[in-house]
Amino acid sequence: MSDKTDAIVIGAGHNSLACAAHLSAKGWSVRVLEQAGVPGGAVKSGEYTAPGFVHDWAAMNLSLFAGSAFHQKYAENLAGHGLAFAPASDCFASVFPDDTWLGVSNDPEVTAARIRAENPRDADAWEALTAEFPDFAETLVAVLGSPMKARAFASLGWKTWRKRGSGGTLDFARFLLSSPRGWLSETFESPKLRALLGAWGLHLDFAPDIAGGAMFPYLEGMANQAFGMVLAQGGASTVTTALVKMIESQGGTVTCNARVDRIVHDNGRATGVVLADGTTLSAEKAVIANVAPRNLAKLTGDTGEKRFDSGLAKYAHAPGTMMIHLAMDALPDWAAGPELQSFAYVHIAPDLDQMARTYAQAKAGLLPDQPVVVCGQPTVVDPGRAPDGKHVLWLQVRMAPGQILGDAAGKITATDWDSAAEPFGDRALDLLEQYAPGTRDKIIGQRIVSPVALEADNPNLVGGDQVCGSHHLTQHFMYRPVRGYADGTTPIDGLYLTGAAVWPGGGTGAGSGYLLGRKLAGE
């Protein structure tokens, strides 16, 4: 391929790859450049602990990708390149200090029965939500899949008003503005049910009392019950590999170990990139950067628009995450009952108050005294990820400060992650041991990945922030990443931004990449 292509894409995360795949399907010549040794960003997998044990590096739940508009369009193509999913019918659960649990499965009757045993009135409320979910989700999905431009947003508002009326539209807007605790408290009585759902808010930087976070507990609860949870068969890299093969089959290229040092732009237009080795590559139509907002300025310098440049500089990141990958001789023996061994996710997040404290501690730069632990059990869904009879555990430790200023428990003195990772990891494993005694004795191999190590592997994960930026209302919808640029455009003609920092934000749904690809290719 010559040094000129229609589009150069910086970064090989799933949004970049989805964008490149769509553009190449529409006849564009595309070159994807990735600084790391393998593509995928946060969506990749490997044998990180011991031979034969396949771990998802960061993202494990691929439900959003499986249900995305991008996958719906290209499912057959991707399947032809090896993409297959492993569905989980028992999706997520939470465990509580009194050795009880509550969980959501892909069977409305089973889930409702569990809730009814906890609180009959809550079961009635749950069944009412279940009944209205298809209609409500249609409106919500329309919002999440719509370009955040004033005209598109106004059109969507008009359609919503015509469908739901003024009262229904105002109720829908109120829901979008609600905090997780606000919505959960007015909908359910049981603190355990509130905690079960509220834990999902922390996945996208929504502590219980932060406005705008109600939709995430709602969507995870309802969507998992309706569709189940989906993992990539064989590991998250299956998604990335299929995307790369799709691009290559359509004439594009994906090159790793190719770090971009500078985006070339003259007279207000992007024309190409300069690599770390000095090579200059030209782009005829577009340069597309899947980078954290603050990192874009390092590639471009000033764009010429102060408001945009200031917005990128002030862009706020969520607290970090620490990953713990475990190769296991057997699954945890959960004190609450063996039924928990069938769930893809088990949250150790017993109540909303503790979640709020954990978040506040991390935001203050403190190592939380009781972090939220998300225990993924992928081998109960996809046994081929480990040798026969063995398992892997995928632990997300939320929340963690990117820069450590102290320890909320007053026990860890280290303030650098090289020294603090192991004792903080032990704190998380202590919590797991509390709810599943004997788990430590089953560990064959272990790897701790600190927030700093996550960022070193992927500069988009600033401070270990796996969603590339807070989703609070002042940095979401039309404000993600900067007002007027939520469609991926920038003040430099021909330069575009994609990834989790662009509307519709974090997650594995490839929304920003596909929306941008459709915009550039004219659908």
CATH of the domain at 307: 3.50.50.60
- Which of 227, 259, 283 is the C-terminal boundary of a domain? 227
Domain presence at residue 107: no
- The answer on 437 and 516 residing in a single domain is no
User: What's the mean pLDDT in 96-100?
Assistant: 98
Report yes or no on 363 lying in a domain: yes
Could you tell me if 203 and 242 lie in one domain? Answer: no
My answer on whether 388 and 486 are in the same domain is: no
10 Å CB burial of residue 330 (0-12, 13-18, 19+) is middle
- The span from the CA of 204 to the CA of 491, in Å, is 28
- Mean pLDDT score, 157-175: 75
Look at residue 254 and tell me if it is in a domain.
yes
Same domain, yes or no: 512 and 382 = no
Q: Which of 7-11, 103-107, 161-165, 451-455 has the lowest mean pLDDT?
A: 161-165
**Residue 497 clears pLDDT 50, i.e. is over it:** yes
Give yes or no: residues 308 and 354 share one domain.
no
Q: What is residue 368's DSSP assignment? A: P
- Model confidence at 284, pLDDT cuts 50, 70, 90, reads very high
pTM of the shown model: 0.95
Domain presence at residue 96? no
Q: Which residues pair with 265 in a beta bridge?
A: 270
Q: For residue 182, what are the domain limits?
A: 117-227
Could you give the C-alpha distances from 416 to 57, 59, 402, 453, in angstroms and in order? 22, 25, 10, 12
d(CA 146, CA 153): 7
* CA 235 distance to own-chain centroid: 16
Which of 206, 227, 248 is where one domain is finished?
227
Same domain, 417 and 511: no
Angle between helices 237-249 and 69-80 (to 10 degrees): 80
Tell me: do 144 and 205 sit in the same domain: yes
Asked whether residue 281 falls in the same domain as residue 300, the answer is: yes
Which of 457, 477, 492 is at the close of a domain? 457
Q: What is the mean pLDDT of residues 372-391?
A: 98
* CA trace torsion 395, 396, 401, 404 (10° rounding): 10
> Do 159 and 171 have their domain in common?
yes
Residue 8 in domain: yes
327 with 380, same domain? yes
**Domains: count for the chain:** 3
Q: What is the SS3 assignment for 140?
A: helix
Closest CA to 196 of 261, 279, 126, 143: 126
Q: What is the pLDDT of residue 153?
A: 58
Q: What is the pLDDT of residue 1?
A: 39
User: Given the structure tokens 């991008």, which residue do they identify?
Assistant: 70
Q: Note whether residue 464 is domain-resident.
A: no
In a shared domain, residues 357 and 388: yes
Q: Two tokens at 449? A: 């990945």
pLDDT on residue 170:
84
Cβ atoms 341, 380 nearer than 8 A? yes
In a domain, 108, yes or no: no
- Domain identity same for 202 and 153: yes
Q: How would you write 166-226 as a 3-class SS string?
A: HHHHHHHHHHHHCCHHHHHHHHCCCHHHHHHHHHHHHHHCCCCCCCCCCHHHHHHHHHHHH
User: Is the separation of the CB atoms in 275 and 285 below 8 Å?
Assistant: no
Question: If pLDDT is split at 50, 70 and 90, which confidence band does 144 have?
Answer: confident
- Structural domain contains residue 92: no
Quick check: 249 pLDDT over 70? Answer: yes
